[in-house]
Amino acid sequence: MILFLLVVIVAIVLGIIGAVAHGLLYLLVIGAVLLVADLVFIAMRWRRSARTPQR
């Protein structure tokens, strides 16, 4: 969970830098792709853990 939060923070920081700095639009794109990939990863992890039976 700490890794998830760290990647989200990095994606937000890259997005802000990419939006503010002139000519660094690629950082905004990298931040957005990183955020989407991280959200897909955590969704798959939650779905997989929901299927395991409780003991």
The SS3 of residue 45 is helix
pTM of the model: 0.67
Model pLDDT, residue 53: 64
Buried b (16+ CB within 10 A) or exposed e, 10-48: ebeebbeebeeeeeeeebbebbeebbeebeeebeeeeee
Model pLDDT, residue 2: 81
Query: Model confidence over 7-26: pLDDT tens digits?
Result: 888 888 888 888 888 778 88
pLDDT of 49 strictly over 80: no
pLDDT of 1 strictly over 80: no
CA 51 – CA 31 distance, rounded (Å): 31
